[in-house]
Structure 1
């Protein structure tokens, strides 16, 4: 089978799995001009009529490679026009990063790029943004996460279809990666077989960027001296980790109501139930709580989760822990609270007072569930023997029938 047939078969399969085939789907295609994104664009264009796709090309110039970047933009425009596709091309310098700080610049560039793609997708009414990540990119990502001490979520690397948090609009961007089953030699060969030129980004060789060193130095070294199939091994690790994360997320969903519930501006965990879980499930539950409040777990590291779980087990009431994204973990005797509040918020959910509960007619206690963990026990007692308020539990109240509304 030719590389062209193989690649187009892989992309067609990815379209069907994502539900984008035959549904009159609009896709934004992120195109840098390199072999991966160029191959993706040509491939999707060839498949577009058969699968009912409308394509819109998007290219962002980060404005730090001068004339070379301008040539990349002109190249992408020429390809889009040749294919008869609409396009959006812009310049944006990454915010919050500079070329002297490799990881900060890489992260800032990524945030700026996906923010741009999300805006284009919203403007054209696209279902998703298709990007040209390959198996090589997946392997690099997994290895980077290993070097940073990531947990299982980091080891899964990238998924074929995933959500990129877009805080500016309070929603997620759907990212579609149909080339994860191919590698870079496949995309280069595809372009050659299709008679398509592509650009070579010299920024991919700058040693000050961590990913470039992993791609150009570390992975070749590992392949030469340790495992000639290191990329395949890392991809296999990613897929196994993805299955394990999927299972753990299902288990977290199952136990969530027993362990946690949302309160106003926070999430509360029952401390005894949380600390009785397996350590891995403790971290999964805490991670879910963090995600509910921030909508984005990219700044949350495995070390943060370990500290949170350790605090729940070891720290006494009144302890706090600062977390990324402006969140705080508060500890009480019975609860672990995640909140943006600097002080411990009320650990109980707001009680909707629009309830009417009838008084029991017999001496048997009547238990009424109101909301969340709220349960009210109503019991008739003899006023002559009642242990009225001075000696009552803190959550007790005594009401005479004459003081209650209704009959």
Structure 2
């Protein structure tokens, strides 16, 4: 376990590069996040960094409030600031709980001034997620998740927030052994192992495997390929995508590989829509299957955006019929921020975006910043993944 103690702070250092100010950490009270809190506390203390503990009460179990309160007390005993976050309405499913949790965590992290949020995902989570996604028909590389670094999956609450996972190289059993050696008790959520849920069934199946070595090799190979794809997407965003001052997006030329085209267009459409719900893959594939045969100027809608074929690529803007014409978490329709004095006034917006911009005050687009942050995290995470595989 000595390797764990010595290795994690060094990895956290790498992940925190370029991040100033407070750092947030999500702690549920389970073994993974509790172990990460203790290790991150050692790192923060040695480097005089402020660590803010965030714990979420989903209100899905009777014990959850007491567990969240206990996490706050443990954090306070370490001299850490802790914030208890509670769902206003208890989620009705695991996916709904995940979405609610990320919104609460992202909001609290930004309120604390943190641009970096530590998450206690382990190698065990990687194995479970890999099998779950394969069962759903995901590609091999898409199943290799989560990544060492990523952007927040929620928008606009997660604007500018990076998620970091320092424990991906260690299985849950290693963390639990380290906690046991240090006489630290953790909570166990019975739903995590319940066969009523998909993850519980996958955990049961993993325990019955006669050899985990073959699975580990497959996941490692898939992760390497995923890192290559992520580097390619980051490069495609930088090389092919431009956003003008009014928020009109242009893919100036298309990548050569069809898989790269699909991922690039999906990524840009999501940013141009101002939301956090990715376009349905089947709809994207169907729309782009006829791309070569489309006439220049042909326009279609997809995922809350309109797309228009140009001589070399695509123009992409917000579908006016899908606009949420209001300010939320400091953004208008997830695409513009108020910029008094230096921003664009409404009457200067070009025709193609005129019906999908704020009608009052000066504003600035945030689509380019969103894409830049994503590209930077994809590249950094890919490098980190390669180092983990070495």
After TM superposition, the score normalised by the length of structure 2 is 0.71
Distance 1:233 1:295 in 2: 38
Q: Is the 8 A contact 1:10 1:181 kept in 2?
A: no
Confirm whether residue 84 of structure 1 aligns to residue 79 of structure 2. yes
**2:68 is matched with which residue: 52, 65, 73?**
73
The residue that corresponds to 1:308 in the other structure is: 287
The residue that corresponds to 2:342 in the other structure is: none
The residue that corresponds to 1:327 in the other structure is: 305
Distance 1:125 1:255 in 2: 32
Distance 1:282 1:45 in 2: 42
* 1:152, distance to aligned residue in structure 2 (A): 6.8
**2:207 is matched with which residue: 220, 233, 240?**
220
* 1:194, distance to aligned residue in structure 2 (A): 1.3
> Structure 1's 74 and 244: CA in aligned 2 closer, same or farther, altered over 3 A?
same
Confirm whether residue 281 of structure 1 aligns to residue 260 of structure 2. yes
* 1:27, distance to aligned residue in structure 2 (A): 1.9
Distance 2:118 2:68 in 1: 18
Q: Is the 8 A contact 2:106 2:157 kept in 1?
A: no
**2:23 is matched with which residue: 2, 24, 27?**
27
Q: How is 1:126-137 mapped onto 2 (pairs within 5 angstroms)?
A: 126-137=114-125
Q: How is 1:155-304 mapped onto 2 (pairs within 5 angstroms)?
A: 155-169=143-157, 171-217=159-205, 219-221=206-208, 223-224=209-210, 227-229=211-213, 232-253=216-237, 255-256=239-240, 266-269=248-251, 274=254, 277-294=256-273, 299-304=278-283
Q: Is the 8 A contact 2:22 2:51 kept in 1?
A: yes
* 1:52, distance to aligned residue in structure 2 (A): 2.5
Structure 1 stretch displaced more, 296-305 or 186-195: 296-305
Distance 1:180 1:122 in 2: 24
Give the gaps of 5 or more residues in structure 2: 322-348, 352-390
The residue that corresponds to 1:368 in the other structure is: none
Distance 1:120 1:230 in 2: 40
1:272-299 residue CA offsets vs partner (Å, 9 max, x unmatched):
x64x833123224323421431356652
* 1:189, distance to aligned residue in structure 2 (A): 0.6
RCO higher in structure (CA 8 A, sep ≥6): 2
The residue that corresponds to 2:319 in the other structure is: 341
**1:15 is matched with which residue: 8, 12, 31?**
12
Q: Is the 8 A contact 1:319 1:331 kept in 2?
A: yes
Q: Higher Cα Rg: structure 1 or 2?
A: 1
CA RMSD of aligned residues (A): 3.4
> Structure 1's 237 and 45: CA in aligned 2 closer, same or farther, altered over 3 A?
same
After TM superposition, the score normalised by the length of structure 1 is 0.68
* 1:65, distance to aligned residue in structure 2 (A): 0.6
Q: Is the 8 A contact 1:140 1:215 kept in 2?
A: yes
Distance 2:215 2:231 in 1: 25
Q: Is the 8 A contact 1:149 1:302 kept in 2?
A: no
Distance 1:50 1:144 in 2: 38
The residue that corresponds to 1:385 in the other structure is: none
> Structure 1's 127 and 277: CA in aligned 2 closer, same or farther, altered over 3 A?
closer
> Structure 1's 205 and 253: CA in aligned 2 closer, same or farther, altered over 3 A?
closer
* 1:183, distance to aligned residue in structure 2 (A): 0.7
* 1:126, distance to aligned residue in structure 2 (A): 2.1
Give the gaps of 5 or more residues in structure 1: 99-104, 344-348, 352-407
Q: Secondary structure at the match of 1:59?
A: strand
How many residues end up aligned between the 2 structures? Answer: 324
